[in-house]
Amino acid sequence: MDAAEFRRRGKEMVDYVADYLENIEKRQVYPDVEPGYLRSLIPEEAPLEAESYEDVVKDIERVIMPGAASPACTELETVMLDWLGKMLKLPEDFLAGTEGSGGGVIQGTASEATLIALLAARSKIVKLIQTDHPDRSETDIISKLVAYSSDQAHSSVERAGLIGGVRMKKIPTDSKFSVRGAALQKVLEEDRAAGLIPFFFCATLGTTPSCAFDCITELGPICNAEKIWMHIDAAYAGSAFICPEFRPLLNGIEFADSFNFNPHKWLLVNFDCSAMWVKKRSDIIGAFKIEPLYLKHDHQESGNQSHWQIPLGRRFRSLKMWFVFRMYGLKGLQAYIRKHVGLAKEFESLVKADQRFEISADVVLGLVCFRLKGSNELNEILLKRINSARKIHLVPCQLAGKFVLRFAVCARTTESRHVREAWSHISHLASELLQELRH
Which part of the chain contacts a second copy (CB under 8 A), choosing from 40-48, 87-95, 287-295, 338-346? 287-295
Please, are residues 211 and 236 in contact by the beta-carbon 8 Å criterion?
yes
Instruction: For 220-284, list the strands marked E by DSSP.
Output: 229-233, 258-261, 274-278
Helix (H, G, I), strand (E, B) or coil at 421: helix
Q: Which is nearer to a second copy, 142 or 434 (CB)?
A: 142
Q: Which is nearer to a second copy, 227 or 297 (CB)?
A: 297
Interactions with a second copy, residue window 70-129 (CB under 8 A): 108-109, 111-112, 115, 119, 122
Name which position in 54, 140, 151, 189 contacts a second copy (CB under 8 A). 140
DSSP-assigned letter for residue 98? T
CA distance 148 to 330: 35
CA distance 136 to 129: 8
Which part of the chain contacts a second copy (CB under 8 A), choosing from 161-169, 176-184, 275-283, 429-437? 161-169
Instruction: Report how many residues bind a second copy under the rule CB under 8 A.
Output: 69
CA distance 254 to 273: 23
Name which position in 182, 225, 295, 410 contacts a second copy (CB under 8 A). 295
**Bridge-partner residues for 149, per DSSP?**
170, 202
Q: Which is nearer to a second copy, 137 or 375 (CB)?
A: 137
Q: In the chain, how many H helices and how many E strands?
A: 13, 11
Please, are residues 394 and 379 in contact by the beta-carbon 8 Å criterion?
no
Interactions with a second copy, residue window 321-380 (CB under 8 A): none
CB-based contacts of 424, cutoff 8 Å, min separation 6: none
Distance set, CA 358 to CA 352, 379, 403, 425 (Å)? 7, 12, 12, 17
Number of Cα atoms under 13 Å in the Cβ half of residue 225? 10
Q: Which is nearer to a second copy, 101 or 414 (CB)?
A: 414
Which part of the chain contacts a second copy (CB under 8 A), choosing from 47-55, 221-229, 286-294, 428-436? 286-294
Interactions with a second copy, residue window 265-284 (CB under 8 A): 271-272
Which part of the chain contacts a second copy (CB under 8 A), choosing from 28-36, 41-49, 226-234, 238-246? 28-36
**In whole angstroms, how close is the CB of 198 to a second copy at the nearest point?**
16
**In whole angstroms, how close is the CB of 277 to a second copy at the nearest point?**
19
**In whole angstroms, how close is the CB of 222 to a second copy at the nearest point?**
25
Give me the DSSP letters along 133-149: -TTS-HHHHHTTEEEEE
Name which position in 48, 182, 225, 312 contacts a second copy (CB under 8 A). 312
Residue 24 binding a second copy, by CB under 8 A = yes
Name which position in 22, 99, 135, 377 contacts a second copy (CB under 8 A). 22
Number of Cα atoms under 13 Å in the Cβ half of residue 34? 2
Ramachandran bin of 191, using left for φ above 0, alpha for ψ from -120 to 50, beta for the remaining angles = alpha
For the chain, the farthest-separated pair of C-alpha atoms sits apart, in whole angstroms, at: 79
Amino acid residing at 328: Y
Q: Is the dihedral of CA 198, 200, 203, 204 positive or negative?
A: negative
Residue 156 binding a second copy, by CB under 8 A = yes
Which part of the chain contacts a second copy (CB under 8 A), choosing from 56-64, 94-102, 160-168, 347-355? 160-168
Residue 131 binding a second copy, by CB under 8 A = no
Give me the DSSP letters along 347-381: HHHHHHT-TTEEE-S---SSEEEEEESS-HHHHHH
**In whole angstroms, how close is the CB of 153 to a second copy at the nearest point?**
10
Q: Which is nearer to a second copy, 87 or 118 (CB)?
A: 118
Name which position in 40, 98, 139, 175 contacts a second copy (CB under 8 A). 139
Q: Name the site residues for a second copy (rule: CB under 8 A).
A: 3-4, 6-7, 10-11, 13-15, 17-18, 21-22, 24, 28-30, 32, 108-109, 111-112, 115, 119, 122, 137-140, 142-143, 154-156, 158-159, 162-165, 208-209, 264, 271-272, 287-288, 290-295, 310-313, 315, 387, 390-393, 395-398, 406, 413
